[in-house]
Chains A and B, each alone.
Chain A
Amino acid sequence: DQQVKQNSPSLSVQEGRISILNCDYTNSMFDYFLWYKKYPAEGPTFLISISSIKDKNEDGRFTVFLNKSAKHLSLHIVPSQPGDSAVYFCAGFDSGTYKYIFGTGTRLKVLA
């Protein structure tokens, strides 16, 4: 049972345009949702998070939107830059179990 799903394995976007990465979840017990960025041969680095009681959180070029009724979240990157090219993972955190459950990732390619 996959609790966090990222249905798009890859995405290509032109530099300067908006990148939208999507994530769906099934576990209603998640308190927070997080986005991580991963370059090859490195560990994931934290990007941005959102509490389950919020619907939007913004940090510079990155905005995360949460639609709790649809169990859907998205990460918007505006404007996209070539250095944003990486694999992006969304994760749900359940404070009752202390577990982070990750999705399968979306590979973003920003074309110069």
Chain B
Amino acid sequence: DVKVTQSSRYLVKRTGEKVFLECVQDMDHENMFWYRQDPGLGLRLIYFSYDVKMKEKGDIPEGYSVSREKKERFSLILESTSTNQTSMYLCASSYLGQGLNTEAFFGQGTRLTVV
């Protein structure tokens, strides 16, 4: 079974704090993704990476950065949190090839509240 593990289920941070969200996958997947889920807005792509040290901006990268130093680990960094970053953050990974087995596997999510 593919496992994508996010380091925290729930986090509460004060405005201006720095936050690291860690994600680890155990299936040797090339692709890794960070999304946020907000009511009425669905899942929006923040950043993704298709290889170690590679990163690409998604649809809403402002206020975020990422790090991928090892293939299995993809970190999302919020340099200075703001209340509009209160959200559910979801990490995912997928195989790089083509074919019907292109589904992304998600972690359990991190509910971040910024006060």
- Docked Cα-Cα span, A97 to B92, in Å, equals 16
Looking at chain A, what size class is its interface with the partner chain?
Answer: 20 to 34
Chain B residues near A103 (CB-CB < 8 A): 42
| Contact count band on B | 20 to 34
Q: Are A99 and B58 in contact (CB under 8 A)?
A: yes
Q: Is the CB of B42 within 8 A of A43?
A: no
Nearest residue (CB) in B for A46 is B103
A-B contacts, CB under 8 A, total: 66
In the complex, are the beta carbons of A9 and B40 less than 8 A apart? Answer: yes
Q: Which of A9, A42, A45 has the most CB of B within 10 A?
A: A42
Q: Considering the chains assembled together, what is the distance between the CA atoms of A104 and B102 in angstroms?
A: 21
A105 to B107, CA, bound (A): 18
The reply to whether A46 and B50 contact each other, CB–CB distance below 8 Å, is no
A43 touches B45 (CB 8 A): no
CB of A64 to closest CB in B, whole Å: 12
Interface residues of A (CB under 8 A from B): 6, 9, 31-32, 34, 36, 41-46, 49, 51, 89, 91, 93, 95, 97-105
